[in-house]
């Protein structure tokens, strides 16, 4: 009975079987071709190693492909003998950039990163995905002796740098961070907990935490006061390091893509669970104020970049974005130092002339 | 195990490989139509069609993005319909087999009849397989072979009638989430 | 070289992982604690990662990984069920078969993918009820014991009985699907308007409010219970084999209406139904226990399976049953299957001897992650929390003891996380059991839950017989037994209070104080007890002793550190957030003490947003 039923069923299902086989064959051939054409990809965890000072850093001498976290697209990674992107050395470079994944050139082939492009000015990027400003400051100290006469540019990404400065961990990695000293308003860098042991389980996709941090960066909450106070401490310390080293410091802020689109911004606000007054321009105003007090050049990336400079859904710069940053840094290096109180406004206007004319400066009310 | 779906088109290489596999068939269809309607040489038409289709995408792979997405959409629709059809066919087989009864004890037993059924401990050699029959060696074969071996050892031969359709269902996986009821004990 | 065996339960309810090394339990944890999804059924990646971390090994160093049941035997039961009901059942069939064809028939591949392809050891598959039986017998303190496992269903078995001796278990009989005590209880859980597979203990908690009016009807129409504890269900009253609901129209007609809608008013009918099915369940358990005792002649009994979490039935079994000693696996549900499967491989496959511990080898069921004071301090600094650090434990427990005595509610976070559904003093919310307000406050402002259920007490083991009807020094550290509050502590009700006991609002009824420990006394004077001893509980025991010195009361309220629908908290951060989203007065994280009124207002969590993260259970 079962056999007879099965035979009849097979006969009835024959068109489906044949169609499925055709689709299956087609998809299999394409997958095999992809396997041949796609580079062999390694996970990001395989490209990093423990570092006792800063928690982790990319391994030296990498020449491999990694997959971008959100899109899965492979990108080529090349690191030097110390594990930093590219092949140029700090000593031979005129500009040294400290930052996180944006400095590293995440999600884009190495040759397209701003620090690897052909330019009149050589740029060395020191950074890795996930770094906070405390780690970058420690690296600045580490390389202080080699910074004499150079322009030091510090990237601050509003997506996570500001609140990650206060965290003793980045996912399950232990990282240096800053903490308030007995509620005095002073801060200190803490790194004695940094070892190879994992931090405890941490959910990064928790929407409540995400809302709190978002409100902290763009609003005026308990977290806001702490993160900008900590940021001021870090920038002040960085300025001291550069002054002692005989280097010039400049700060460039990197906006999140939400800041570059009114529609996306409003949609994000609608997901907040608490009423808050959030301002997409607030971080730039605050950082500009800090830099102005310290006579540090500040450049608001939001005024220079737009959403077409980012890889869609990935959140990192694309080829065009890196080109603009490379141009910006080169122009920056060419400029003479002006009086600090005038420099921010004047420099921004002046640099705007150096940026390609199809720039669409978007600002969100 | 989405066998019919193409992976995310996150690089020009993937768009290109899709287009290179897709276009010969398309070019052949165009050439056939052209040679039929225009009485033209089939080979010439095929070459021209192939060149016209392939060259632009070689220069700008993102042109293939829409057909790529269209393919996945088509596959999802096909997968959903074909899966439903396959399930109906499988259920028909069950109806046929079910006439012979099932081993579920549904009939009311005698009042004093115990419902405790004797059972034995699992043979240590059976730990390495997905069923209860001891294996001479560790089984690393495919799931279909496993199912076949189990059906013959447990004398559930009729399950083999379902095997082609299980294979078909497995191939028709298009990663679409099924809607499971929440307030029922998960028996499957 | 040590042998490492990892047990896994997954894909149904409450995924978990458990690691043993040379037969000793190293770590065990449920996936939900890490993913924060209640009853998370997915492959327990985070729990596996934790177990390996705790064991100091990598996946490649595992000798065996064992899954807790037999997929192909389960598949057989599934298709046989459809065969029995065709042409009905297509709706269920069309949902089940794709899942099997695409995932569950490929379980070895899915499991290996869960290990990122790094598993070098052998992959094994245990039997479901043997896994339960192993989780009950091997960690128990008995060299020999009768075994009883009771749940909804594994492959075919719904209950099993047998005997354990030395390093072997031998299950001799089982009941087969669809005749299942667990499914029966779940069907009534569904009918009473609670969530299946998580609301069963609510049904149990509702029972004391009702009268077993329907017991005879249930036994006459729905289930035939034999003298030996086996049962037969009239499946015409159920819909779970062929449909998408638990009960059928015939069932609804029998009890005079459709199932109660969740979150609506609980009427006397639901209370009486709860009381009735609870009595039936107890009867089945008692009869099955008598039968297995008569068969095995053992004075010890070990139990596991979801039904073994019915602590009211367990309490009756202890008082009225034929066994002198009972040990129940704290993780009696499917999560415990992971541990049992691992132990099965060690003892049955590798034929290793068993070295039993005099009290048990479950280690108090504190088998999850712990967090040291240094890391806790770093976390608190990172968020700007206000805290005091107590250098010595003596200072700490003195301070907390005083707070408890002042009727403050304390979130207590110390040591390794519990394995199993109950909080046992590592991730607990504590309160003064003597307080008449404690039950209401905890229900409404902390747990955010229906308030017809009392809380459970912890009692110093040496005083258990003074406060509850239990033997002196009775060892029940896992909160799996219910016993009556001692007569001497009961307070007679005034006429006014008697009147309140008829109030349709259960919150009014439960608020009536009826003993010197009103927070933990149910309306029928029962309490779900945990005994606390120094060997297992260390600092928690010493805290209770301090409270006893201050108040002359060795009993406190112990409820799980979470809100309704939330898994038990795991990390200090989760504890802090729960603390700041509820009315807990004080949080103790290791040696750190945090008072709510000292925290910055900006750190308070939005309670509604916090609650909204978790589906109602």
Tokens read off for C409: 């509610």
Confidence of residue A76 (pLDDT cuts 50, 70, 90): very high
Average pLDDT over residues C163-178: 97
3-state secondary structure C174-221: EEECCCCHHHHHHHHHHHCCCCCCCCHHHHHHHHHHCCCCCHHHHHHH
More confident: A93 or A349: A93
Confidence of residue A340 (pLDDT cuts 50, 70, 90): very low
Question: Counting every residue, how long is chain C?
Answer: 617
Q: What is the tens place of the pLDDT at every residue in C487-501? A: 999 999 999 999 998
Place of tokens 């002359």: C552
Q: Using CA atoms, how far apart are residues A232 and A230, in angstroms rounded to an integer?
A: 5
Distance from the Cα of residue C220 to its chain's centroid: 31
Q: Using CA atoms, how far apart are residues C308 and C332, in angstroms rounded to an integer?
A: 6
Averaged confidence pLDDT in chain C: 95
Distances (CA, A) of B17 to A26, A36, A64, B11, B76: 11, 10, 22, 10, 20
- C neighbour chains, 3+ CB pairs within 8 Å: A, B
Distance from the Cα of residue C614 to its chain's centroid: 19
Determine the pLDDT at residue A349. 53
Distance from the Cα of residue C520 to its chain's centroid: 18
Place of tokens 């020999």: C144
Average pLDDT over residues C306-333: 96
Q: Are C522 and C454 in contact (CB under 8 A)?
A: yes
Size of interface A-B (CB pairs under 8 A): 92
Q: Taking CB atoms and an 8 Å limit, are B146 and C72 in contact across chains? A: yes
**Which DSSP helix (H) or strand (E) runs through C324?**
none
Q: Tell me whether C251 touches chain A (CB under 8 Å).
A: no
H-assigned helices in C390-514? 393-405, 438-441, 464-467, 495-500, 506-511
Helix (H, G, I), strand (E, B) or coil at A280: coil
Confidence of residue A363 (pLDDT cuts 50, 70, 90): very low
Q: Using CA atoms, how far apart are residues B158 and A277, in angstroms rounded to an integer?
A: 67
Determine the pLDDT at residue B160. 85
Determine the pLDDT at residue C517. 96
In CATH terms, the fold of domain A42-354 is Rossmann fold (3.40.50)
Distances (CA, A) of C102 to A26, A32, A60, C463: 20, 21, 42, 56
Q: Taking CB atoms and an 8 Å limit, are B188 and C230 in contact across chains? A: no
Is the pLDDT at A344 greater than 70, yes or no?
no
H-assigned helices in C297-388? 311-320, 334-344, 373-383
The ranges assigned to domains in chain A are: 2-37, 42-354
Backbone angles phi, psi at C165, to 5 degrees: -140, 125
Q: Which residues of B40-75 are buried (b: 16+ CB within 10 A; e: fewer)?
A: eeeeebbebbbeebbeebeeebeebbeebeebbeeb
The nearest CA of chain C is from the CA of A168 a distance in Å of 7
Tokens read off for A139: 């690296």
Distance from the Cα of residue B54 to its chain's centroid: 31
Closest by Cβ to C153, choosing from B115, B154, B187:
B187
Q: Select from A13, A107, C561 the least CA-distant residue to B168.
A: A13
Helix (H, G, I), strand (E, B) or coil at A70: coil
Q: Using CA atoms, how far apart are residues C142 and C166, in angstroms rounded to an integer?
A: 8
Q: Select from A252, A262, A226 the least CA-distant residue to A351.
A: A252
Q: Using CA atoms, how far apart are residues A49 and A71, in angstroms rounded to an integer?
A: 24
Closest by Cβ to C130, choosing from B122, B130, B162:
B122
Strands in chain A per DSSP E: 41-42, 48-51, 55-58, 63-67, 74-78, 95-99, 123-127, 151-157, 169-170, 173-174, 177-180, 187-190, 248-254, 297-300
Tokens read off for C166: 């030395």
Q: What is the tens place of the pLDDT at every residue in A112-150? A: 999 999 888 899 999 999 999 999 999 999 999 999 999
Confidence of residue C315 (pLDDT cuts 50, 70, 90): very high
Determine the pLDDT at residue C69. 97
Q: Using CA atoms, how far apart are residues B163 and B146, in angstroms rounded to an integer?
A: 11
Q: Using CA atoms, how far apart are residues C415 and C412, in angstroms rounded to an integer?
A: 10
Q: What angle do CA B162, B81, B24 make, to 5 degrees?
A: 100
pTM above 0.95? no
Strands in B4-54 per DSSP E: none
Q: Using CA atoms, how far apart are residues C29 and C22, in angstroms rounded to an integer?
A: 19
Average pLDDT over residues C241-249: 93
Q: Provide the 8-state DSSP code for C166.
A: T
Average pLDDT over residues C398-413: 98
Q: Using CA atoms, how far apart are residues C341 and C134, in angstroms rounded to an integer?
A: 7
Determine the pLDDT at residue C457. 97
Determine the pLDDT at residue A343. 47
Beta bridge partners of A85: A79
Distance from the Cα of residue C69 to its chain's centroid: 20
The nearest CA of chain A is from the CA of B165 a distance in Å of 8
Q: Select from C135, C130, C3, C63 the least CA-distant residue to B126.
A: C130
Determine the pLDDT at residue C458. 98
Size of interface A-C (CB pairs under 8 A): 62
Give me the helix-helix angle, B163-171 and B65-98, nearest 10°. 160
Q: Taking CB atoms and an 8 Å limit, are C381 and A190 in contact across chains? A: yes
Average pLDDT over residues C45-72: 97
Determine the pLDDT at residue A310. 96
H-assigned helices in C297-372? 311-320, 334-344
Q: Select from A333, A347, A335 the least CA-distant residue to A288.
A: A347
Instruction: Spell out which residues of chain C touch residue A167, defining contact as CB-CB under 8 Å.
Output: 382
Q: What is the tens place of the pLDDT at every residue in A181-231? A: 976 779 999 999 999 888 987 776 788 889 999 999 999 999 999 999 999
Q: Are B90 and B162 in contact (CB under 8 A)?
A: yes
Longest dimension (CA), chain C: 71
The nearest CA of chain B is from the CA of A116 a distance in Å of 21
Determine the pLDDT at residue C447. 84
Is the pLDDT at A332 greater than 90, yes or no?
no
Q: Taking CB atoms and an 8 Å limit, are C99 and B118 in contact across chains? A: no
The separation between the first and the last C-alpha atoms of chain A, rounded to the nearest angstrom, is 74
In CATH, the architecture of C4-128+332-365 is 2-Layer Sandwich (3.30)
Q: Tell me whether A118 touches chain C (CB under 8 Å).
A: no
C4-128+332-365 and C181-327 share one fold: yes
Determine the pLDDT at residue C484. 96
Question: CATH class for domain C373-612?
Answer: alpha beta
Instruction: Spell out which residues of chain A touch residue B93, defining contact as CB-CB under 8 Å.
Output: 2, 5-6, 9
Q: What is the tens place of the pLDDT at every residue in A186-195? A: 999 999 999 9
Confidence of residue A346 (pLDDT cuts 50, 70, 90): very low
Q: A12 to chain B: nearest residue by CA?
A: B89
Distance from the Cα of residue B122 to its chain's centroid: 33
Helix (H, G, I), strand (E, B) or coil at C521: coil
Question: Counting every residue, how long is chain A?
Answer: 365
Q: C70 to chain B: nearest residue by CA?
A: B130
Q: Using CA atoms, how far apart are residues A54 and A143, in angstroms rounded to an integer?
A: 13
- DSSP helix, strand, coil percent of chain B (3-state; round to 5): 60, 0, 40
Q: Using CA atoms, how far apart are residues C408 and C429, in angstroms rounded to an integer?
A: 11
Spell out which chain B residues touch chain A, with contact meaning CB-CB distance below 8 angstroms. 3-8, 10-11, 13-14, 16-18, 20-22, 75, 78, 82, 85-86, 89-90, 92-93, 96-97, 99-100, 157-158, 160-162, 164-165, 168, 171-172
Q: What angle do CA C396, C401, C406 make, to 5 degrees?
A: 130
Peptide bond into A295 cis (omega under 30): no
Determine the pLDDT at residue C41. 94
Between strands A123-127 and A95-99, the pairing is parallel
Q: Using CA atoms, how far apart are residues C190 and C321, in angstroms rounded to an integer?
A: 29
Averaged confidence pLDDT in chain B: 86
Distances (CA, A) of B34 to A294, B20, B46, B52: 74, 21, 9, 14
Instruction: Spell out which residues of chain B touch residue C12, defining contact as CB-CB under 8 Å.
Output: 186
Q: Provide the 8-state DSSP code for C557.
A: E
Q: Which CATH code fits C181-327?
A: 3.30.420.40
The ranges assigned to domains in chain C are: 4-128+332-365, 181-327, 373-612
DSSP string, A284-345: HHHHHHHHHHTT-EEEEGGGT--GGGB-TTT-SB-HHHHHHHHHHHHHHHHSPP--HHHHHH
Average pLDDT over residues C32-36: 95
Q: Taking CB atoms and an 8 Å limit, are B8 and A71 in contact across chains? A: yes
Strands in C452-567 per DSSP E: 457-460, 481-484, 526-532, 555-560
Confidence of residue C608 (pLDDT cuts 50, 70, 90): confident
Burial of C495 (0-12, 13-18, 19+ CB in 10 A): exposed
Q: What is the tens place of the pLDDT at every residue in C420-466? A: 999 999 999 999 999 998 988 898 888 887 678 889 999 999 999 99
> Which long-range contacts does C347-350 make (Cβ < 8 Å, 24+ apart)?
C347/C23, C347/C134, C347/C138, C347/C167, C347/C168, C348/B121, C348/B122, C348/B124, C348/B127, C348/C168, C348/C169, C349/B124, C349/B127, C349/C64, C349/C124, C350/C3
Place of tokens 């907390």: C400
The one-digit pLDDT tens for each residue of chain B (188 residues) are 467 888 887 778 888 889 988 888 888 888 999 888 888 788 888 888 889 999 999 888 889 999 999 999 999 999 999 999 999 988 988 777 777 778 888 989 998 899 999 999 999 999 999 999 888 766 678 888 888 888 888 888 888 888 889 999 999 988 776 667 777 777 77
């Amino acid at each position: 009975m079962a056999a007879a039923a099965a035979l009849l069923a097979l006969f009835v299902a024959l068109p489906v079987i044949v169609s499925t086989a055709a689709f299956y064959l087609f998809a299999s051939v394409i997958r095999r071709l992809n396997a041949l054409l796609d580079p062999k990809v390694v996970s990001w965890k395989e490209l990093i190693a423990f570092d006792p000072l800063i928690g982790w850093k990319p391994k030296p001498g990498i020449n491999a492909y990694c997959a971008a976290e959100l899109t899965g697209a492979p990108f080529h990674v090349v690191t030097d003998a110390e594990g930093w992107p590219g092949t140029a050395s700090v000593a031979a470079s005129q500009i040294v950039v400290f930052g996180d994944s944006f400095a590293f050139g995440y999600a884009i082939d190495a040759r397209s990163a701003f620090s690897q492009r052909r330019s009149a000015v050589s740029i060395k990027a020191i950074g890795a995905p996930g770094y906070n400003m405390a780690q970058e400051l420690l690296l600045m100290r580490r390389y202080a002796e080699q910074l004499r006469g150079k322009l030091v540019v510090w990237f601050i990404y509003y997506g996570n740098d500001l609140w990650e400065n206060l965290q003793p961990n980045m996912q399950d990695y232990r990282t240096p961070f800053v903490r308030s000293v007995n509620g005095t308003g002073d801060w200190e860098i803490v790194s004695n907990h940094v070892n190879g042991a994992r931090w405890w389980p941490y959910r990064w996709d928790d929407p409540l935490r995400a809302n709190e941090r978002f409100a902290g960066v763009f609003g005026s909450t308990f977290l806001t006061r702490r993160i900008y106070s900590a940021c001021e401490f870090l920038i002040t310390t960085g300025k001291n390091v550069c002054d002692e080293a005989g280097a010039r410091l400049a700060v460039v802020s990197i906006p999140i893509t939400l800041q570059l689109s009114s529609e996306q911004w409003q949609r994000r606000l609608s997901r907040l669970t608490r009423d808050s007054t959030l301002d997409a321009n607030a971080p730039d105003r605050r950082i500009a104020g800090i830099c102005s007090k310290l006579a540090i050049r500040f450049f608001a990336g939001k005024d220079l970049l737009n959403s077409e400079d980012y890889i869609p859904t990935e959140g990192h710069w694309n080829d065009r974005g890196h080109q603009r940053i490379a141009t910006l840094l080169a122009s920056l290096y060419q400029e003479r130092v002006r009086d600090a109180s005038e420099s921010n406004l004047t420099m921004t206007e002046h640099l705007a002339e150096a940026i390609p004319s199809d720039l669409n400066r978007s600002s969100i009310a | 195990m989405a066998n019919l779906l193409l992976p995310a088109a996150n690089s020009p290489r993937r768009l290109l490989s899709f287009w290179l596999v897709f276009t010969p068939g398309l070019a052949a269809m165009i050439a056939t139509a052209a040679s039929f309607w225009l009485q033209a040489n089939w080979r010439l038409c095929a070459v021209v069609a192939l060149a016209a289709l392939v060259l632009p995408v070689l220069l700008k792979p993102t042109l293939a993005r829409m057909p790529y997405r269209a393919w996945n959409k088509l596959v999802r629709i096909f997968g959903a319909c074909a899966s439903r059809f396959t399930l109906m066919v499988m259920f028909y087989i069950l109806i046929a087999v079910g006439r012979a009864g099932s081993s579920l004890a549904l009939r009311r037993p005698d009042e004093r009849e115990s419902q405790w059924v004797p059972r034995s401990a699992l043979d240590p050699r059976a730990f390495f397989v997905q069923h209860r029959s001891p294996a001479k060696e560790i089984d690393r074969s495919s799931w279909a072979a496993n199912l076949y071996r189990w059906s013959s050892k447990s004398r559930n031969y009729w399950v083999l009638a379902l095997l082609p359709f299980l294979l078909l269902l497995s191939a028709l996986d298009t990663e679409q989430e099924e809607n499971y009821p929440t307030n029922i004990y998960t028996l499957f | 070289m040590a042998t490492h065996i990892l047990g896994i339960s997954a894909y149904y309810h409450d995924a978990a992982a458990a690691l043993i090394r040379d037969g000793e339990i190293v770590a065990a944890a449920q996936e939900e604690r890490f993913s924060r999804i209640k009853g998370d059924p997915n492959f327990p990646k985070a729990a596996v990662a934790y177990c390996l971390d705790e064991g100091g090994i990598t996946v490649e160093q595992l000798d065996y990984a064992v899954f807790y049941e037999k997929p192909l035997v389960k598949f057989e039961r599934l298709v046989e069920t459809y065969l029995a009901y065709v042409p009905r059942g297509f709706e269920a069939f069309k949902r089940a078969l794709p899942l099997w064809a695409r995932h569950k028939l490929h379980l070895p591949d899915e499991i290996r993918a869960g290990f990122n392809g790094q598993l070098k050891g052998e992959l094994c598959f245990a039997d479901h009820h043997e896994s339960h039986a192993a989780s009950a017998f091997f960690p128990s303190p008995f060299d020999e014991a009768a075994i009883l496992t009771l749940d909804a269903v594994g492959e075919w078995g719904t209950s099993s009985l047998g005997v354990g001796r030395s390093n072997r278990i031998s299950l001799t009989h089982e009941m087969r699907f669809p005749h299942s005590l667990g499914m029966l209880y779940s069907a009534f859980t569904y009918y009473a308007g609670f969530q299946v597979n998580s609301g069963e203990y609510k049904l149990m908690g509702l029972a004391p409010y009702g009268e077993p009016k329907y017991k005879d009807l249930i036994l006459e129409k729905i289930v035939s219970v034999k003298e030996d504890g086996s049962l037969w269900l009239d499946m015409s009253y159920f819909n779970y084999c062929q449909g998408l609901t638990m009960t059928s129209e015939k069932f609804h007609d029998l009890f005079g209406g459709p199932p109660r809608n969740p979150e609506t008013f609980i009427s006397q009918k639901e209370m009486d139904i709860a009381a009735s099915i609870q009595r039936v369940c107890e009867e089945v358990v008692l009869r099955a226990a008598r039968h297995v005792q008569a068969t095995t002649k053992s004075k010890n009994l070990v139990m596991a399976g979801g039904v073994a979490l019915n602590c009211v039935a367990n309490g009756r079994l202890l008082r009225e049953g034929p066994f002198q000693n009972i040990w129940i696996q704290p993780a009696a549900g499917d999560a415990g299957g992971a541990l049992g499967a691992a132990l099965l491989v060690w003892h049955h496959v590798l034929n290793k001897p068993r070295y039993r511990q005099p009290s048990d080898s479950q280690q108090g069921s504190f088998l999850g992650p712990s967090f040291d004071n240094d890391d806790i301090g770093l976390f608190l600094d990172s968020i700007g929390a206000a805290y005091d650090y107590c250098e010595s434990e003596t200072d700490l427990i003195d301070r907390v003891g005083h707070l408890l005595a002042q009727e403050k509610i304390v979130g207590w976070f110390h040591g390794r996380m519990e394995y199993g559904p109950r909080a046992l003093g590592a991730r607990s919310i504590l309160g003064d059991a003597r307080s008449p307000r404690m039950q209401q406050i905890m229900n409404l402002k902390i747990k955010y839950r229906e308030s017809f259920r009392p809380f459970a007490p912890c009692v110093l083991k040496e005083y258990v017989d003074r406060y509850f009807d239990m033997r002196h020094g009775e060892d029940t550290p896992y909160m799996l037994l219910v016993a009556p509050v001692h007569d001497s502590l009961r307070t007679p009700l005034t006429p006014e209070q008697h009147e309140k006991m008829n109030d349709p609002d259960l919150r009014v009824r439960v608020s009536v104080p009826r003993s010197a420990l009103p927070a933990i006394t149910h309306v029928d004077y029962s309490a779900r007890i945990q005994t606390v001893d120094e060997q297992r509980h260390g600092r928690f025991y010493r805290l209770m002793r301090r409270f006893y010195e201050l108040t002359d009361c060795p009993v406190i309220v112990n409820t799980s550190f979470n809100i309704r629908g939330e898994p038990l908290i795991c990390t200090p951060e989760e504890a802090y957030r729960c603390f700041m989203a509820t009315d807990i007065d004080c949080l103790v994280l290791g040696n750190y003490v945090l008072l709510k009124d000292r925290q910055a207002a900006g750190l308070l969590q939005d309670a509604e947003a916090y609650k909204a993260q978790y589906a109602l259970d």
